[in-house]
Structure 1
Amino acid sequence: MTEPLRFAPAIDHLDLLAEPVAAAIAAWKGSVPVEELAVAEIDPAAADTAEFCARYGIGLDESANCVIIAAKRGGEIRLAACLVLATTRADVNNLVRRHLGARKASFAPMDVAVRETGMEYGGIGPIGLPDGWPILIDAAVAAAPRVIVGSGVRRSKLLVPGRALADLPGAEVLEGLGVPVTPS
């Protein structure tokens, strides 16, 4: 049996968000009204995508994963975020690496991702990321009427129109960023 999610306007519940996420929502200037960004409290033990979707009856195609990438070139490391539907994985070694002009791209170590984003591991989302970071968004995420993303903490999730994510500072919508996951 699934548990119901109770979404409410995130602007009215900033206490459910990580500090950088709350600050970004409080200062929201996107083309989507801030009232369309919603938050729901969840069990932190169910924050990981598969567990969250199963427990709350959410389709993987309604949930998006945000992964932090470390792109390396000539001794310099540049961090970026990739946002893809949970039915896919980010094409890090090809599309992301080339798009960022890197010699090598890989998932950032957990401690680096947590420290640099100011968010909890397992709750990292695209809203509230550091200024200047590229936020690469799969076209399917940007086209989604609404998608669930991390709120910066494991105890809540955000429900956001895809077009709002495409409006984020540093956002770039890329066709083919999310590669379908083949069942094992």
Structure 2
Amino acid sequence: MLGKLDWVPAAERAGLLAEPVVAAVRDVPEAYVAPIDPALADTAEFCAHYDVPLEASVNCVIVAAKRGGEVRYAACMVRATDRADVNGAVRRHLGARKVSFAPMDEATSLTGMEYGGITPFGLPGDWPVLVDEAAAALPRAVVGSGIRGSKLLVPGKALAALPGAEVIALAQG
């Protein structure tokens, strides 16, 4: 399907998904999962080792948006070849005074997922999921599975169809 991985329907391998992700991918028939070496979960190492093009890998970063003493979290989805315009597009879209990457311990405790495996599937329901236009347009996108020991393969349109998803020009450049 993509790269040197053994992709199987995600609904058949719940053990390869973080708990919050299991129910979220159940209704995505085009979702596949493959086991990987957890030491190779970081994007560059993963793509190089498993022959997955960087352009097909989509990163999920959790940001904390602050305004008037209130903190709101959101997920940003951008291709691995791009960078999210956190201080521009994301800040403006969320109406925040300041946006920063959520600290690792906050991101993992709030999502119930492992750092390096965070995915937009199974995030808290009130979080916006900002999906870059280029990521939404991918025929197949590799994203985290909630754990470092596997990856999900989904169509970009599945990212755009997530609860709370908004497709915007998110990439910096």
Q: Helix, strand or coil for the counterpart of 1:71?
A: strand
* One-letter amino acid of the counterpart of residue 147, structure 2: V
Give the match for residue 11 of structure 1: 11
TM superposition shift of 1:35:
2.6
TM-score (norm 2): 0.97
* SS of alignment partner, residue 172 of structure 2: strand
RMSD of aligned Cα (Å)? 1.0
Counterpart among 97, 100, 116 of residue 94 in structure 2:
100
Aligned to 2:25: 25
Letter in 2 for 1:109: P
Match of 2:172 in 1: 179
1:91 aligns with 2:69: no
Instruction: Structure 2 unaligned segments of length 5 or more: list them.
Output: none
Whether the aligned pair in 1 keeps the contact of 2:4 and 2:52 (CA below 8 Å) is no
Offset of residue 38 of structure 1: 0.2
Gaps of 5+ in 1: 29-33
Task: Using the TM superposition, give the Cα deviation of residue 179 of structure 1 relative to its aligned residue in structure 2, in angstroms.
Answer: 2.1
Alignment of 1:113-152 (within 5 A): 113-152=107-146
Give runs of ≥4 in structure 1 deviating > 2 Å: none
Using the size of structure 1 for normalisation, the TM-score is 0.91
Distance in 1 between residues matched to 2:117 and 2:160, nearest whole Å: 19
Give aligned pairs, total.
171
TM-superposed CA distance for 1:24, in Å, is 1.2
In the alignment, what sits opposite 1:31?
none
Q: Which residue of 1 aligns with 2:55?
A: 61
**1:39-96 Cα distance to aligned partner (Å, 9 max, x none):** 0000000000000000001111000000000000000000000000000111000100
